Homo-oligomer: A and B are copies of this chain.
Amino acid sequence: MAIGITTIRKGDATRARIVLEAVNQASVRGLATVSLHDVADAVGLSKSGVFKHFSAKEALHLAVLETAAASFTEAVWLPAKAEARGRARMDRLFEGLMRWNEGYWRGGCPLTAAARELEQQPGDLRDYVVGQLQLLLETIARVAQGLTEPPLPDETGAQAAFEINGIVAAYKHSLSLGDPRARERAQAAYEAVVGRLTPP
């Protein structure tokens, strides 16, 4: 759906406030439990006030995923892209992934949570999330390939993306178990992967 500049109006700020609250709720409890009612309560609107912007839960859920993906681009990908190709860009991307999972949202990554939740529920929402997460893995792979000149082979990049994705997951897991050395362990694991790809 293309939205022209002329459609921007006061109501858009309210819409954005609704979606932001919904993304935060989804990051904590998953998409399924995000209801128009709870979101209305949290942002201090009547349910009909929320209904003006989202006529159904499904529309709100899609907006949640789109907003999470757009935020990821802004908070993680664009800062990495601004760095020089190679180690600097890889480091910035990894750092961005760590921070995204540390406290960018009230809970964890809303997209990963949704992917787990929707695993056995085929449909548009699931396709959207899977597409976004595949794009992320492809992005990590491409940045990893750029660690050397000429670039590393596709397969090496894909393997690095798999492993870096795993480090981020292990980091979240260790954080949730209260491991005070989680960050340090993630950094050491990352250095080992990058070290293997870029022999001295």
Question: Within the complex, which residue of B120, B162, B174, B178 is in contact with A170, where a contact is CB–CB below 8 Å?
Answer: B162
| A166 CB within 8 Å of chain B | yes
Contact with B along A84-116 (1 / 0, CB 8 A): 000000000000000000000001000011011
Question: Within the complex, which residue of B107, B134, B188, B193 is in contact with A159, where a contact is CB–CB below 8 Å?
Answer: B188
On chain B, the residues within 8 Å of A182 by CB distance are 162
Q: A170-B166, A185-B159 are in contact. Are A120 and B28 (CB under 8 A)?
A: yes
Interface size class of A (residues with CB under 8 A): 35 or more
Contact with B along A160-186 (1 / 0, CB 8 A): 001101111111011011100110011
User: For chain A, what secondary structure do more than half of its interface residues adopt (helix, strand, loop), or is it mixed?
Assistant: helix
Minimum Cβ distance to chain B for residue A199 (Å): 13
On chain B, the residues within 8 Å of A196 by CB distance are 192
On chain B, the residues within 8 Å of A152 by CB distance are none
Interface contact A173-B177, CB-CB below 8 Å: no
| A158 CB within 8 Å of chain B | yes
Minimum Cβ distance to chain B for residue A102 (Å): 14
Contact with B along A129-151 (1 / 0, CB 8 A): 01001100100000000000000
Tell me the nearest residue of chain B to A119, going by C-beta.
B176
On chain B, the residues within 8 Å of A189 by CB distance are 159, 162-163, 166
Distance A186 CA – B116 CA, assembled complex (angstroms) = 19
Interface contact B133-A107, CB-CB below 8 Å: no
On chain B, the residues within 8 Å of A112 by CB distance are 173
Interface contact A116-B176, CB-CB below 8 Å: yes
Interface contact A137-B169, CB-CB below 8 Å: no
Tell me the nearest residue of chain B to A181, going by C-beta.
B158
